[in-house]
Amino acid sequence: MKLNPSGIKTPLSFSFLQETNNTAVLSTLKKAEKEDRFVLRFFNPTETECHGSFTVNLSVEHAQEGTLNEKPIAPLSLENNYINVPLKRNQVKTVLF
């Protein structure tokens, strides 16, 4: 199949998200179903409390905690594209950004 040149140069590798605390388990990173934003979902598989900590490698203006059906619940503190969310034992969290 012949493709027309696009004129867009992309890097050979790109990291969209970096996990800064490996206790929480990343389960989903996707585009939201009905809006132009991303959904980040992670959980705590341990019996103790921990934090889900992530750095997004793009400019993020705001982040919100959300429900499993991608409805916003509350704003989250966001500094230098760093997201840090406390997790109770065996808890799932959704972040919208």
Residues contacting 40, CB < 8 A, separation 6+: 17, 26, 28, 29, 54, 83, 94, 95, 96, 97
Q: Chain-wide mean pLDDT for the chain?
A: 91
Q: CA–CA separation, 95 vs 85, rounded Å?
A: 9
Grade residue 62 by pLDDT with cuts at 50, 70 and 90.
very high
Residue 5, domain member (yes or no): no
Q: CA–CA separation, 97 vs 60, rounded Å?
A: 7
Q: What domain range includes position 28?
A: 17-96
Residues contacting 93, CB < 8 A, separation 6+: 41, 42, 43, 52, 65, 85, 87
**Nearest residue to 94 via CA among 52, 35, 46, 49:** 52
Residue 82, domain member (yes or no): yes
| Predicted pLDDT of residue 85 | 95
User: What's the structural domain count of the chain?
Assistant: 1
CATH number, domain with residue 65: 2.60.40.2220
State mean pLDDT over 69-91. 94
Residue 11, domain member (yes or no): no
Percent residues over pLDDT 70 in the chain: 98
| Predicted pLDDT of residue 8 | 77
Residue-wise pLDDT tens digits, 10-39: 788 888 899 998 899 999 999 999 999 999
Residue 8, domain member (yes or no): no
State mean pLDDT over 71-83. 93
Q: CA–CA separation, 64 vs 56, rounded Å?
A: 14
| Predicted pLDDT of residue 3 | 72
Grade residue 63 by pLDDT with cuts at 50, 70 and 90.
very high
